[in-house]
Amino acid sequence: MSFVYKLFSAIIVVAVIMIGTSSARAEKLPDTKYCSPEGQLNYQVNTVSYENLIPYKPGYKTQADNFVTIDSLSNAYSYFYLMINRPFVYDKSTGNLITVKRGYYNPVTHGNTGYTGQNRSYNLMMRISEDYGTTWNEEAVVYDKDAIGYFEARFPTCFGFKMNDKQYVTSTFPVINYDPSNPGGWDGYVSTLWNSSVTDFQEMPMAAHVTLEAGGSSYDWDNDSRIYAGEKPDAPGEYFWITVSEISPENAGDYTNNSHIAMRRTDDIEGEILETIPNAWNSDKFSIPESAGRYNQLIDLKMADDGILYMGVYGNYRKGDGSKDANTVGYSVSNDYGLTWETIEFLPLSVRNEFMTSLGLTGGTFVFNYTTKGMVVFNGGDISFIVHGGLYNAAQEYQGSKVVEIYTENSSWDMRIVADLTGSYIVYRDVLNTENTRTNPSDIELQVARTVDGSGMVAKWIDLIDYDQTAGTFSTTDVFMAARMKNATSWNTAVNVTQSSEIDRSVLIPDYISNFTDKSIVPMLKQYTKIKPNESERDSQFVAGLDQYLKYAVAEVIVDVEDNEIIENVKMDIVPNPVNDIARVRVFYEGKPVQTEVAIFNLLGEKVAVVSNGIMPYGTHHFDYNVSNWISGTYYVTVSIGDKKMTKLMNIIK
């Protein structure tokens, strides 16, 4: 019997154990998620509201992204929260897109034999696409509130992996106790494990995570989490499961321990889940003030293809000599699948100073802005963080906002600009509850995704269009993306991938995307609130409410593949293009005979045909391939010589 199944099936959940986290503290969480320590500049971000929205003229822009509605939501805030939960992922092992969302699907038009409850607003549903979003499987219920009790699900994070030739999806999420006789607020975490053989919710293994006891203190799990599960690369047939979360002491006055990061982990088939605070993540590794609130922020948990785990964090780093590097990013490494963790390596302040000097701002300051940050990892210890920063000159005068990549290559830190942006975002308020003053905690919605093969990455964010900083007006918000090949020294020019009059927000991309060709094909899921009669768009775009939906689209981002992976003595073209029957690939090679492969790939990066594979001599070569029985769509033809590749786009039209 497989490891994960035994682990979860051995734990019978009758009720989730209350751990006493107050809802009041959760309401304050967005305000204390990050901070600027004393002596550090406080960047006063320009926030605007829908009242500043400029009315649109018909035909001002067109919808370039072609979003398609695939499902409904009960509460967008619980689907898309601070970018610290991850409800939309791409499973590299199966090629499937996966999303886990809070409620509800239409009971009239949808059915699910595994669903027994009546309250769809507080349950979690999962959708899977096996064809990169073209079609989506029927909903699977991964958490049924009515089957458990009064515990309502929130803020899901999920991860997909393959085991025993089945698709597995593990989810972890906080729950709230709404027992009318004894409401308890936030009551800890629940983890579930679904696989493609499950036909009834009651068959799903589950586990509850209670208050963490460590060092004589009790801690509550905060409303964030990152999860990883799967097979160990160096031990086929062995699997492990790990989640990482911020925790807070139940004693609100315990300032010494208010910035721990903890984990829940197991690879013991017959054992229980280990809940612990790794010493490398202890609060004493950060600069802790005598005040409430965290002084660090979990960024992500990722595993490179070589099996090395990385935990990314943002915070105030306390050095061994007692000094500190204020507001910086860093990472901790595990070489044994999370059993032990190395000391966090932080970006040195000197690198930030050198970056400012390279921009002509010697003596100036780079200030981390907002909550959202992203991280991707590669083999060999290379890591990239994507952050948003404000630039100030030596006189502390604001010089603009940038999306910036902070990265390590060959164990050395450096920084580079991804793109310029306005530095402003829309304030979203909950119009169903005017007393609820929480604003958009996801700010510019910054994310980064890596290609499956590790050859590149794409950054995504939201920005205002036609923004007048003086007047505080704008016409809409759009989704922007930029791409970079791993071996390139700069990012491609950022692209507005939506270009619509519709206000874009709550837009997610997965953690991995298909491999680069001359374009990056990036899946997007967007939360959308239906505009009701007598409402304007600004009235409908609230965080919590009814008539909310998930829309799906793909964005195409140009990638300079040929500029970055040049084979100097090779030229290639495809004729005709578009093609509907015989595609002729013409390759001119100028050099000594060499082993060469000419292959065709689909949008998922899967090799679907080998046109030629053998020794290529000097000269012009024609390779004909019959695609008359192939479905219409976009494909990519790649010439590979050693570790170098050249790629061309090929369209098949029937």
Span 136-159, pLDDT tens digits? 888 888 888 777 777 888 889 999
Of 369, 370, 352, whose CA–CA distance to 361 is shortest? 352
- Please give the pLDDT value at position 609: 93
Verify that 339 and 355 share a domain, yes or no: no
Token pair for 180: 């009318």
pLDDT level of residue 23 (50, 70, 90 thresholds)? very low
How confident is the model at residue 13, as a pLDDT?
31
Task: Look at residue 16 and tell me if it is in a domain.
Answer: no
Q: Choose the final residue of a domain: 194, 209, 224.
A: 209
Return the closest-CA partner of residue 37 out of 314, 364, 439: 314
The answer to whether the beta carbons of residues 454 and 403 sit under 8 Å apart is no
Higher-pLDDT residue of 178, 339: 339
Q: How large is the average pLDDT for residues 492-496?
A: 88
141 and 196 inside one domain: yes
Which residues are within 8 A (CB) of 77 and not within 5 positions of it... i.e. 6 or more apart? 430, 543, 544
Report yes or no on 295 lying in a domain: yes
**Residue 152 C-alpha from the chain's centroid:** 24
Percent of the chain at pLDDT exceeding 70: 74
> Does residue 22 register a pLDDT over 60?
no
202 plus 314 within the same structural domain: no
Please state the rounded mean pLDDT for residues 35-64: 40
In Å, the largest CA–CA distance within the chain is: 83
Residue 533 falls inside a structural domain = no
- Domain assignment present for residue 478? The answer is yes
Residue 9: Cβ within 10 Å count: 15
Looking at the predicted structure, is the pLDDT value of residue 556 above 70? yes
Is 68 within 8 Å of 552 (Cβ atoms)?
Answer: yes
More confident residue, 629 or 548: 629
Residue 358 and residue 453 share a domain: yes
Domain's final residue, options 209, 243, 259: 209
**Nearest in space to 29 (alpha carbons), one of 240, 292, 219:** 292
Better-scored residue on pLDDT, 531 or 481: 481
Name the residue with tokens 């093609």. 579
Give yes or no: residues 508 and 602 share one domain.
Answer: no
* Contact (Cβ atoms closer than 8 angstroms) between residue 589 and residue 616: yes
Is residue 476 within 8 Å of residue 57, measured between CB atoms? Answer: no
Q: Residues 201, 337: one domain?
A: no
Same domain, 165 and 302: no
> Does the residue 200 lie in any domain?
yes
Is residue 612 a contact partner of residue 543, using CB atoms and an 8 Å limit?
no
Please tell me the distance from the alpha carbon of residue 477 to that of residue 49, in angstroms, as a whole number.
12
Judging by beta carbons within 10 Å of its beta carbon (0-12, 13-18, 19+), is residue 634 exposed, middle or buried? middle
Phi, psi for residue 547 in degrees, rounded to 5 = 55, 50
323 & 360 share domain: no
Region of poorest pLDDT, from 284-293, 547-556, 601-610: 284-293
The reply to whether 14 falls in a domain is no
Neighbour-count burial of 5, counting CB atoms closer than 10 A to its CB (0-12 exposed, 13-18 middle, 19+ buried) = middle
**pLDDT, tens digit, 9 for 90 and up, residues 267-279:** 865 457 889 999 9
Domain hosting residue 288, numbered range: 27-36+214-346
Which residue, 539, 563, 587, sits at the end of a domain? 563
Please indicate, yes or no, whether residues 93 and 128 belong to a single structural domain of this protein. Answer: yes
| Coil, helix or strand at residue 77 | helix
Cβ atoms of 150 and 236 closer than 8 Å: no
Instruction: Give the pLDDT confidence of 586-643 residue by residue, as tens digits.
Output: 888 888 888 999 999 876 677 899 999 999 888 889 999 999 888 877 788 889 887 7
Examine the domain organization and report whether 399 and 467 are in the same domain: yes
- Residue 143's nearest CA partner among 4, 275, 13, 5 is 13
The answer to the question of residue 439 being in a domain is yes
Out of 50-64, 449-463, 588-602, pick the least confident. Answer: 50-64
30-57 burial by CB neighbour count: b if 16+ within 10 A, else e?
Answer: beebbbeeeeeeebeeeebebebbeeee
**Mean per-residue pLDDT, 288-301:** 76
Q: What CA–CA distances, in Å, run from 185 to 24, 123, 150, 180?
A: 9, 17, 11, 11
CA-to-CA separations, 75 to 144, 506, 543, 546, 552, in angstroms, rounded: 16, 12, 7, 7, 17
Residue 2 pLDDT greater than 60, yes or no: no
Return the minimum-mean-pLDDT range out of 162-176, 350-364, 465-479, 540-554: 540-554
- Which residues have C-beta within 8 Å of that of residue 107, sequence separation ≥ 6? 120
| C-alpha–C-alpha distance, residues 352 and 610, integer Å | 47
Q: How far lies 24's CA from each of 20, 76, 186, 502, in Å?
A: 11, 20, 10, 34
Would strands 594-601 and 124-129 be described as parallel, antiparallel, or unpaired?
A: unpaired
* Collapsed DSSP state (helix, strand, coil) of residue 32: helix
Q: How many domains does the chain have?
A: 4
Write the burial class of residue 459 (CB in 10 Å: 0-12 exposed, 13-18 middle, 19+ buried): buried
- Whether residue 514 sits in one domain with residue 598: no
Assigned domain for 539 exists: no
Contacts from 595-599 at CB under 8 Å and sequence distance 24+?
595/641, 595/642, 596/639, 596/640, 596/641, 597/638, 597/639, 597/640, 598/623, 598/637, 598/638, 598/639, 598/640, 599/637, 599/638, 599/640
Mean pLDDT score across all residues of the chain: 77
| CATH number of the domain that residue 634 is part of | 2.60.40.1930
Residue 388 sits in the same domain as residue 485? yes
